[in-house]
Amino acid sequence: MRFPLLSHHLALAAVLCVSAPCFAQEHGDEPPQAAPPATKDAARDAKDKPSFPPLPADAHVEQSITLDGKPLKYTVTVGTLPVRNTDGKVAGQVVFTSYTMPGADRPVTFAVNGGPGAASVYLNFGAIGPKRVPFGEDNSSPSDTPTLVDNPGTWLDFTDLVFIDPIGTGFSRSEVSEAESKKLFYAPTADVNYLSRIIYDWLLKNGRMMSRKYLIGESYGGFRGPRITRYLQTQLGVGLNGVVLVSPYLNPSITDNGDLSPLPWIVTMPSMAAANLERQGKLTSASMKDVIDYAEGEYATDLIRGSSDPGTKDRMVAKVTQLTGLDPDFVRAEGGRIEPDVFLREVHRKEGKLGSVYDSNVTALDPFPYNRDQKTGDPILDTIIAPLTQSMVNFVTQTVGWKVDGRYNALSYEVGRMWDRSGRDERSGSGTQLRQAVAADPKLHVLIAHGWNDLSCPFMGSIVTVNQIPQATAQRILIHEYPGGHMFYTRPGSQKSLKQDARELFTSH
């Protein structure tokens, strides 16, 4: 999950970085230093430090599901791992949910979602965990009682699974002041460094350093993925065998400067075309190849030529109208360059509905249909928080028996509020780390998975990014697209295809 893209000219959930914390365990050879004198700021921070009851000890429960007609037995563990500051004091507690099975040779996969501010419940109960709850569908109701069912798309039959909730999400929490939390947790580099250390610590705690190791990151978790992989490689000495990036937020700046650059329109228009093809029942890999070819070819050329070629506008209006299904007068008024937020209202305007930025064919009634700008929440985002929260809280506290006293955050806007935006790190994306990690390890393979209808993290963004990587490296980075949107795995066929592609990654390399 990533906070939604509203306009090419607005920040794409931009969160910029400050220097990351260095954990005391990583500096054991440094001489001890005298404590600095107390200051007013330090006193204020101590006063602002939150006070919580201790989190429970790790809890376990045995469960089973029926998968392909056979029982699959496993152990669920809900537990915590500490994050320490430079003094070695506990600054936060990361809560994880793991699913493990007996077997000395079983790989282990770590899962993180995005936001920043999203817990890992989306991948857990939506995509690859052994249980799932329906969500993200048209006409979903947040007041429906959610029911966990066996998940045919789970990856547990070929890998153990560890779902990590970053600080401020799920039940994970900071135990220091807000000012200190911002430094330790709420900035891109700090975030990647402590999450990497959590992976290391889980492997150490569970005696799994010699297991084959994988990572899956969704949305902003896809931004984290290459950076965590690189940090594990070079700083913590842990080599991942494979990485899966689901609807990744790889290159935030790719949709900047749409008044000059053709890239914003090249990246987003194909997802609008995919939604139109789906509404017509014509969405196939072949039909999308034609869309991609046009976006990379004639559309890109006409955008670059602009008004220097008098024929560009007519050509673009005709083709974009055909591909998106929008009114030709509207497309002409927009110059063949359709902003995503405008598209989401215009494509369903006759029905008085809004499309979701995560899948524009999932809609809700627009409570303010005559307002110039959208004044309500996203149709998917507004309906998924309740079922996921209720399902996870009940599962953790009742099924597993981890009796926690605290609020569960499926998506924390408070984390988004505190995220550091003062640097440039996040805007540079993760393309550099993706190149470096794959180039450094000739056995590392990456699967990038997208839904065609996603306007939050459009699939063309990954295609354009990977197209610039040298072929010797790029040949080990596969991009697969599926019907659906940002959470395409909510569709059974797309979830099945994702599982097949991931299994091939795990077994072939």
| 3-state SS, one letter per residue, for 462-500 | HHHHHHCCCHHHHCCEEEEEECCCCCHHHCHHHHHHHHH
- Structural tokens at position 75: 């152990």
**Looking at the structure, do residues 356 and 213 belong to the same domain, yes or no?**
no
The mean pLDDT value for 445-470 works out to 96
CATH number of the domain that residue 89 is part of: 3.40.50.1820
Mean pLDDT score across all residues of the chain: 89
Which residues, 6 or more positions from 368, have their beta carbon under 8 angstroms from its beta carbon?
374, 375, 376
- Whether residue 4 is predicted with pLDDT greater than 60 in this model: the reply is no
- Residue 297's domain spans which residues? 255-365
Same domain? For 437 and 395 the reply is yes
User: What does the alpha-carbon distance between residue 119 and residue 277 come to, in Å, rounded to a whole number?
Assistant: 32
| pLDDT band for position 48 (cuts 50, 70, 90) | low
d(CA 356, CA 399): 33
Using the predicted structure, report yes or no on whether residue 290 has a pLDDT greater than 60: yes
Considering the domain boundaries, does residue 27 fall inside one?
no
φ, ψ dihedrals at 302, nearest 5°: -65, -35
Structural domain includes residue 4: no
Instruction: Count CA atoms within 13 Å of residue 360 on its CB side.
Output: 33
pLDDT in tens, 477-499: 999 999 999 999 999 999 999 99
- CA dist 273 → 290, 309, 322, 362 (Å): 10, 25, 9, 15
Same domain for 220 and 262, yes or no, is: no
Whether the pLDDT of residue 67 is over 90: the answer is: yes
Q: With residue 329 as reference, give the H or E element that holds it.
A: helix 328-333
Residue 361 lies in a domain: yes
Distance from C-alpha of 330 to C-alpha of 7, rounded to nearest angstrom: 17
Domain final position from 365, 397, 415: 365
Q: pLDDT band at residue 46, thresholds of 50, 70 and 90?
A: low
pLDDT tens digits, 76-103: 999 999 999 988 999 999 999 999 999 8
Do 194 and 73 belong to one domain? Answer: yes
Residues contacting 337, CB < 8 A, separation 6+: 258, 265, 303
Q: Distance between CA 145 and CA 506 in Å, rounded?
A: 36
Q: Where does the pLDDT of residue 138 fall: very low under 50, low under 70, confident under 90, or very high at 90 and above?
A: low
Q: What is the pLDDT of residues 351-376, one digit of tens each?
A: 999 999 999 999 999 999 888 778 89
Q: Residue 41: which pLDDT band, with cuts at 50, 70 and 90?
A: low
Give CA separation, 226 vs 110, 429, 465, in Å. Answer: 13, 10, 13
Band (pLDDT 50/70/90 cuts) for residue 185 is: very high
Classified as helix, coil or strand, 128 is helix
pLDDT score, position 11:
35
Domain assignment present for residue 397? The answer is yes
Paired tokens of 429: 């994306």
Q: What's residue 262's pLDDT?
A: 92
Q: Which of 229, 250, 232, 246 is nearest to 444 (CA)?
A: 229
Q: Which of 433, 408, 455, 407 is nearest to 219 (CA)?
A: 455
Q: What is the pLDDT of residues 401-433, one digit of tens each?
A: 999 989 999 999 999 999 987 777 777 789 999
- Asked if residues 389 and 143 have their Cβ atoms less than 8 Å apart, the reply is no
Express as a percent the part of the chain with pLDDT over 90: 77
Q: Is the pLDDT of residue 180 over 90?
A: yes
pLDDT at 16 exceeding the cut of 80: no
Average pLDDT of 318-330? Answer: 96
| Whether residues 57 and 137 fall in one domain | yes
Q: What is the pLDDT of residue 28?
A: 34
| One domain for residues 446 and 322 | no
Query: Model confidence over 207-220: pLDDT tens digits?
Result: 999 999 999 999 99
Same domain for 483 and 402: yes
Backbone angles phi, psi at 354, to 5 degrees: -115, 145
Q: How many domains does the chain have?
A: 2
> What is the distance between the alpha carbons of residues 473 and 463, in angstroms, rounded to a whole number?
14
Residue 72 to residue 244: CA distance in whole angstroms: 24
* Token pair listed for 143: 């007041």
Same domain, 291 and 317: yes
End-to-end CA distance of the chain: 28
**Parallel/antiparallel/unpaired status of strands 160-165 and 90-100:** antiparallel
Residue at 142 is within a domain: yes
| SS (HEC) of 440-469 | HCCCCEEEEEEECCCCCCCHHHHHHHHHCC
Tell me, yes or no, whether 395 and 353 share the same domain. Answer: no
Please tell me whether residues 92 and 206 are part of one structural domain: yes
Q: Is the pLDDT of residue 13 over 50?
A: no
pLDDT at 145: 85
pLDDT-derived band of residue 434, with 50, 70 and 90 as boundaries?
very high
Q: What is the pLDDT of residue 278?
A: 97
Poorest-pLDDT segment among 2-6, 29-33, 66-70, 270-274: 29-33
Residues 249, 119 share a domain:
yes
Of residues 399 and 26, more confidently modeled: 399
Tell me if 208 is assigned to some domain.
yes
SS3 354: strand
Question: pTM to 2 decimals?
Answer: 0.89
Please check the confidence at residue 47 and state whether its pLDDT lies above 60: no
70-107: buried (b, 16+ CB within 10 Å) or exposed (e) per residue? eebebebbbbbbebbbeeeeebbbbbbbbbbeeeeeeb
How much is the average pLDDT of 332-347? 94
- 193 lies in the same domain as 157: yes
Question: In sequence order, what DSSP letters do the residues of 192-217 get, joined into one string?
Answer: HHHHHHHHHHHHHHTT-TTS-EEEEE
Question: Token digits for 72?
Answer: 């699959």
| Predicted pLDDT at 17 | 30
- What's the pLDDT at 175? 95
Report if residue 339 sits inside a domain: yes
Q: Which of 299, 330, 365 is the last residue of a domain?
A: 365
Residue 200 lies in a domain: yes
Q: Name the DSSP class of 308.
A: G
Q: Domain boundary at 333, 365, 397, which? A: 365
Sign of the C-alpha dihedral computed for residues 55, 58, 59 and 62 taken in this order: positive
